[in-house]
Amino acid sequence: MKEQKRFPVVGMRCAGCAHSVEQAASKVEGISDANVQLAENILSVSVDERLASAEDLRKAIRSIGFDLIVEDSEAEQLRRRDAMEAAELRRMKCDTIIAWSSAILLMLLMLMPHFQMMPYLMMLIALPGYTWAGRTFHRSALKQLRHGVFSMDTLVSLSTTISFFYSLIVLLFFREGPAGMKLHLYFDASAMIIAFVLLGKLMEKRAGRSTGQAIRELMRLQPAEALVVRNGRETVMPIAALVAGDFVRVRPGEQIPVDGIVTEGSSSVQESMISGEPLPREKEVGSMVFSGTINGSGVLTVQSTHVGSDTVLGRIIRTVREAQASKAPIQRLADRIAGIFVPIVIGLSILTYIIWQLTGAADASVYGLLCAISVLVIACPCALGLATPTALVVGIGRSARNGILVRNAEALERFATIDAVVLDKTGTLTIGKPEVTGIDWFVSDTDVPKVRRLLYSAEILSTHPLAAAICRAFAEDGRTEELSEVQNFPGRGIEFSFEGEIYRVGNQTFVEELGAQIPTDITALSEDAAVLYFSRAERLLGRFCVTDELQPQAAEVLAQLHRHGIRTIMLTGDRPEAAEALARKLGLQDYRGGMMPSDKADYIRILKDKGHHVAMVGDGINDSEALSTADVSVAMGDGSHIAIEVAGITLMRSDLRLLPAAFELSRATRRTVKENLFWAMCYNLIAIPIAAGLLFPVNGFLLNPAIAGAAMAFSSISVVTNSLRLRTKRLPLLR
């Protein structure tokens, strides 16, 4: 049986590196679906543990010059990754200092008057930069070459090696020629290429750490230890050792380590990181608390119901990670291009040299070599490989910080293209806490208590928000009856048997199917009220008017969507009259009432057939079919578990203002991806011909390989920096 696993990778620098890691992982027997998330340096794979182990995978990755962190504990993985990344950052700083020391000394030396030993001194000064500072590039290139894979390291190593050894051969074996520049020595180029590339990679790595800031912020919400009460004794234990049912004591100011129920004490708890609400919530015995929230002034004892990755915070972290690791369709294209880019560049470099030879120009060999080296250096696919993942990681992270949980990159990309939003009514446009506002009984007063108990017994088995209202209204004594053959009919109601007779609770059509006669002389207490009926076979027992308060921001949100050119439609299973009344309040032109779950799905299919890109927003089990039919599904955070599981985007709090915010953020992310890709492609389309010597016949300009290295580094940094702008993007209605 295959299991999805994630491993941090150490040493990747570009899309070519990521492609090499994916190839190496895929060649391991028992490993499939290898996918590298470059911005976070994470390898996701499906592992058949009968055929392969994590250590087998690690050996394969090490064989091509990278390393894999395979500890079982996620916390330990992150700790080791942070330690190894910190060590790698220190090494990169040291290597950058060495490379730039060589480069600067070479530049100063070239400004001095020529003397006989200058070429030899240049070689000695360039040697530490080429060998020691560039050793990582050379080692990685050699390891990858043995496996037939290529990356940025291949281009850097190849270009600097050609520069250095060409110069060395000229210096040692062609002494009859004039010294210095007339011999066309490129020791300076070999050192300066490595200096510029290392500086660029160092800046890129520091900026890249910011792209994953959201996930690190979420991780910091998880305390490392908890005070556990077992057998009357308090023991400090690591979070990983906790199990459901443990009693945890939380002192004032501490983070709550588990999801659970308060069994002792009372306090106020800051839940803004979960709910988005700025004010603390009061907690007492029986209250639910969540991992990562902060206890106020009181001491709480909490019995854990969920621990570790099963907590609300754990699920958020897991979802954000999976989303950031996923690839949008546009990224897959970029990855394919990046995967074949290096061999193409090497081919272009060779072609450049050949064309120069064919020109028959003076010093064609020297100029051809110079241009071939510049092509190798300037055409690194780093910017192309980073264009999409950096924007997606920042965009998804920014969404998570605002209470918008994106399941995968594809959902974020698709959401930017929607032009129609279908909304459920109850729990979406309304607050989802309906109350019974009117009751009509069609039985004698003596039978009312029994009918109430039956009704309560049935509705506690339903997940519909209207059922919850009935339960709240009839739960005074909490007494229930033993029911049989209970069946839920989503969007219609619930059926059960009691003492050999069939009962139904639900909408008018549902109870009329059993022959129940609905009186025509009784009107609803409110035109926008939902009406439920309770019948025993053909006899009507009761009727209930249920109203739900409108979301305070609903009208403003719909207006915001309209300004974006998005069509909004309300579909509800409620009465057409109630749907019409609510639509008038909201200014909605498109609405349908009396819709079954399948009707909602069919309506969405019709919209899609007409060419619309449709998002469905819902919260209940009855919305699941419609959610799965839409191009993008959006679930309200307080909705049913099934709806949230189906949805591509979840609004973690029932605040409709998050909907236009999510839309704006998805558009901004998509726009940033396109900007990054446009820049990366334009850079290569312009830079490669210039590096090849296109301008030489016009104005005699030839690109110095060292400057080519600087241009390549700048292109990668610009892409990462552009993506980071999403962190400060202002969102509508949340300002």
Taking the C-alpha atoms of residue 407 and residue 400, their distance in angstroms, rounded to an integer, is 10
223 exposure class (CB count in 10 Å sphere: 0-12, 13-18, 19+) = middle
- The answer to whether the beta carbons of residues 642 and 627 sit under 8 Å apart is no
DSSP state of 532: E
Taking the C-alpha atoms of residue 268 and residue 420, their distance in angstroms, rounded to an integer, is 41
Taking the C-alpha atoms of residue 33 and residue 47, their distance in angstroms, rounded to an integer, is 9
Q: Which residues pair with 170 in a beta bridge?
A: none
3-state secondary structure 113-147: CCCCCHHHHHHHHHHHHHHHHCHHHHHHHHHHHHC
Contacts of 401 (CB under 8 A, 6+ apart): 214, 217
State yes or no: is 188 an active-site residue: no
Residue 580: name the closest of 566, 594, 567 by CA: 594
Catalytic residue among 95, 424, 548, 574: 424
Query: Residue 515 CB: number of other CB atoms within 10 A?
Result: 11
| Residue 305 CA from chain centroid, whole number | 27
Taking the C-alpha atoms of residue 560 and residue 733, their distance in angstroms, rounded to an integer, is 9
- The answer to whether the beta carbons of residues 418 and 614 sit under 8 Å apart is yes
Taking the C-alpha atoms of residue 54 and residue 69, their distance in angstroms, rounded to an integer, is 9
Taking the C-alpha atoms of residue 507 and residue 511, their distance in angstroms, rounded to an integer, is 7
3-state helix, strand, coil in the chain (%, to 5): 50, 20, 30
Residue 58: name the closest of 70, 45, 48 by CA: 70
- The answer to whether the beta carbons of residues 501 and 536 sit under 8 Å apart is yes
Residue 201: name the closest of 68, 334, 88, 344 by CA: 88
Taking the C-alpha atoms of residue 691 and residue 347, their distance in angstroms, rounded to an integer, is 14
Taking the C-alpha atoms of residue 238 and residue 74, their distance in angstroms, rounded to an integer, is 13
Tell me the residue ranges of DSSP E strands in 464-513.
484-489, 493-498, 501-506
Query: Residue 508 CB: number of other CB atoms within 10 A?
Result: 16
Query: Strand, helix or coil at 488?
Result: strand
Here the tokens at position 524 are 């609803």
* Sheet containing 404-406, strands listed edge to edge, beginning at the edge strand earlier in sequence: 404-406, 649-651, 632-636, 614-618, 420-423, 567-571, 590-592
Q: Which residues are catalytic?
A: 424
